[in-house]
Amino acid sequence: MVKSNMHKAALFFLPLWIAVYFSLNKIIDFLIFDLLGLAKGTHFADAAWFFFFEVPKVLLLLTLIVFVVGIIRSYFSPERTRRMLGGKKLFAGNVLASLLGVVTPFCSCSAIPLFLGFVESGIPLGVTFSFLIAAPMINEIALVLLFGLFGWKTALIYMSTGLIIAMLSGYIIGLLKLEKYVEPWVYEVKAGRLETAEENPSFSDRISYGIDAVKEIVSKVWIYIVIGIAVGAGIHGYVPENFMASLMGKDAWWSVPIAVLIGVPMYSNAAGIIPVVQALLEKGASLGTVLAFMMSVIGLSLPETIILKKVLKLQLILIFVGIVAAGIIIVGYIFNLIY
Amino acid sequence: MIIKILGMGCAKCNKLEEKVKEVAKVNGIEAEFIKVNDMQEIMKYGIMMTPGLVINEKVKSYGVIPKEEQILQWLKEC
């Protein structure tokens, strides 16, 4: 009973969502200029408008996308992904693994069991790495925020470059034959077989998964989004344009590797980093440099590499970080050239 | 009844343990709790996502924190 009510509510929310999202502009105009009576064109009104418009907009987008992604993910599980990757050769395997990395539910705390499960079932090391690179790097929250703040083109660019880096990095790791740098005990692991029957949830179960995903993720990240946008609003109204141009602009060729060097040890969730990205871009930093910074923060993180130390020798970790960082740097340069 | 929580100490693992203990306590169900941190041991259960919940050597869930009603049902079945 409770369940079916929830689904009706979900159906009811969709038109409401559309109505609010597409008239948000007018609602906020009314609120800021008519109700509060702020004068158009002042720094304060600009910043306030930005804040009160972006927060609900991003939260609305986040809710919808997380819901849809939650439903999509219910069709994928690590077990199914592993089965699909079994017997795949290099390259074809890398392409598939990167794509599956985007849709398979993944949390970096599960990186080890997943790695062991893949390797134990005979999936090549390079293919496993494509998955492990794509999964954190292409993040649905980052995708939503890029889409909401910069439009679908930037979101698409982020996703496709992330995929290419994951495919190629995994492919190269595969070619280098680095199995000797995996801790020997990994190959001795005998994984048991799961006895639980393959679940085949109904569509209404999948809707519940989507709702659960929204509850879990939105309750966790909303505060970062509000803080991030508040910072963004402050910068939007008060920091001069082109402030970042000389530091992170196109002409500063060294800015891309520096951005990656700073980004790799930094760890932030996607929701926290995007408003920073927005502020940097607005003040004259170039897209390639900012993209490189963002990808290195989200895709390569110190905690995750420390977790991987349990199964990989230092050499392989360094090679892995090196190849991915190089890929990110190349993408950064390419974007600085194009845009 | 022996309840095992499989996981290497992630936030979700601790949450799962708390939740199962709470459900058992509220419903007056006696159980022995064992935390399994060792990766090789965890892999024997065939899961690729943590935390895993194992009741009397049967994997009940992995990668998620199940709902209370679901946990209660499992506890009652055993």
What letter represents residue A198's amino acid? E
Q: What is the DSSP letter of A189?
A: -
Confidence of residue B55 (pLDDT cuts 50, 70, 90): very high
C-alpha A118/C-alpha A86 separation (Å) is 9
- Residues A48 and A86: beta-carbon distance below 8 Å: no
How many CB pairs below 8 Å do chains A and B form together?
67
Q: What is the pLDDT of residues A188-206, one digit of tens each?
A: 887 777 765 556 778 888 8
Domain boundaries, chain B: 2-77
Check CB contact under 8 Å for A194 and B46: yes
Per-residue pLDDT band at A1 (split at 50, 70, 90):
very low
Instruction: Judge whether residue A228 has pLDDT over 50.
Output: yes
Residue A115 burial by Cβ neighbours in a 10 Å radius (0-12, 13-18, 19+): buried
Model pLDDT, residue A172: 94
Whether pLDDT at A271 is above 60: yes
Best mutation target, B48, B59, B60, to test chain A (most A CBs within 10 A): B48
* pLDDT at A139 (0 to 100): 82
Q: How far is B77 from chain A (nearest CA, A)?
A: 15
| Mean pLDDT on A277-302 | 84
Would you call B49 and A310 a contact, using CB atoms and an 8 Å cutoff?
A: no
When pLDDT is averaged across residues A291-299 and rounded to a whole number, the result is: 87
Candidate from B12, B43, B49 with C-beta closest to A189: B43
Q: Are A259 and A290 in contact (CB under 8 A)?
A: yes
Strand partners, B61: B53
Chain B contacts of A112, Cβ < 8 Å?
8, 39
Q: Are A132 and A94 in contact (CB under 8 A)?
A: no
pLDDT at B16 over 90: yes
Gap from A303 CA to chain B (nearest CA, Å):
12
Q: Closest Cα to residue A110, out of A319, A302, A308, A314?
A: A308
CA A222/CA B69 separation, integer angstroms: 28
Does residue A117 belong to the interface with chain B, where contact is any CB pair within 8 Å? Answer: yes
Q: How far is B21 from chain A (nearest CA, A)?
A: 21
Using the beta-carbon criterion (under 8 Å), do A196 and B59 form an inter-chain contact? yes
Which tops the pLDDT comparison, A198 or A338? A338
CB contact under 8 A, B48 and A78: yes
Partner-chain contact B58 A190, CB within 8 Å: no
Catalytic residue flag (residue B78): no
Closest residue in chain A to residue B67, using alpha carbons only:
A212
* φ, ψ for residue B6, nearest 5 deg: -95, 125
The token pair at B19 is: 């939740």
Among candidates B40, B47, B50 on the partner chain, residue whose Cβ is nearest the Cβ of A194 = B47
Average pLDDT, chain B: 90
Choice among B1, B2, B8, B10 that is catalytic: B10
Q: DSSP label at B36?
A: E
On the question of pLDDT at A95 being above 90, the answer is yes
pLDDT tens track for A246-269? 777 777 788 899 989 888 887 777
Cis peptide before A184 (omega within 30 of 0): no
Helix (H, G, I), strand (E, B) or coil at A32: helix
Torsion of CA A38, A41, A47, A52, to 10 degrees: 60
Catalytic residue status for B10: yes
Could you say which architecture CATH assigns to the domain B2-77?
A: 3-Layer(aba) Sandwich (3.40)
- Predicted local confidence at residue A106, as pLDDT: 79
Q: Which residues of B34-55 are buried (b: 16+ CB within 10 A; e: fewer)?
A: ebbeebeebbebbbbbbbbbbb
**A43-57, A182-196, A319-333 — most confident range:** A319-333
Q: What is the ipTM of this complex?
A: 0.84
pLDDT tens track for A5-54: 666 777 778 888 988 998 998 998 888 888 888 887 788 888 888 889 98
Token digits for B22?
Answer: 């709470």
